[in-house]
Amino acid sequence: MVERHPLSQLRRGVLEYCVLALLAREQLYGFDLVRRLSEVDGLVTSEGTIYPLLSRLRRDGSVSTSWVESESGPPRRYYAISASGERALAEFVEEWGRFRDSVDHLIKGQA
């Protein structure tokens, strides 16, 4: 697939940890989660692609899902972070800090 935007590859790699970071605070259902991610500037370009990501996180055990009754309409599938998801997130947070500092350092050094 051709990547048009210079950051799209990076964005895709980081997105799943943003999902885990949101779920580390509270359980969310699909639309609510997507809405919160979309509110952050420049993170999500196509909202629909978050659902396959959620499905993958569920299958690899980083998140768990449960049905919750809603006042209107059918029950909703809620997503929650699992213990292994929390470990993956903690690991990422540490690496990300180092990575961001290194990139900043290089970019500023070049200028």
Partner 1 sequence: MATGQQLIDDYLARLERAAQPLAAERRTELLAEIRGHINDARSERGAESDAGVRALLDRLGSPEEIVAAAAEGDQSIAERAATRDQFSGPRRSMMLETWAVLLLTAGSIVLPVIGWLIGAVLMWSSDRWQTREKVLGTAVIPGGIGLYGSILFFASSVETCFAASGADVAGGSTTSINTCDTSSSWTDAIVPVLYGLGAVAALVVPFLLLYLARRRATAEQAEQIVVRVGQPVG
Give the binding range for partner 1 (CB under 8 A) out of 18-26, 61-69, 83-91, 101-109: 61-69
Q: Which of residues 63-102 bind partner 1 (CB under 8 A)?
A: 65-69, 72-77
Beta-bridge mates of residue 68: 76
Please answer whether residues 22 and 81 qualify as being in contact, where contact means their C-beta atoms are separated by less than 8 angstroms: no
Q: Does 109 bind partner 1 (CB under 8 A)?
A: no
CB of 97 to partner 1, least distance (A): 27
Instruction: Specify whether the CB–CB gap between 82 and 64 falls below 8 A.
Output: yes
What's phi and psi for 72, nearest 5 deg?
Answer: -120, 130
CB of 75 to partner 1, least distance (A): 5
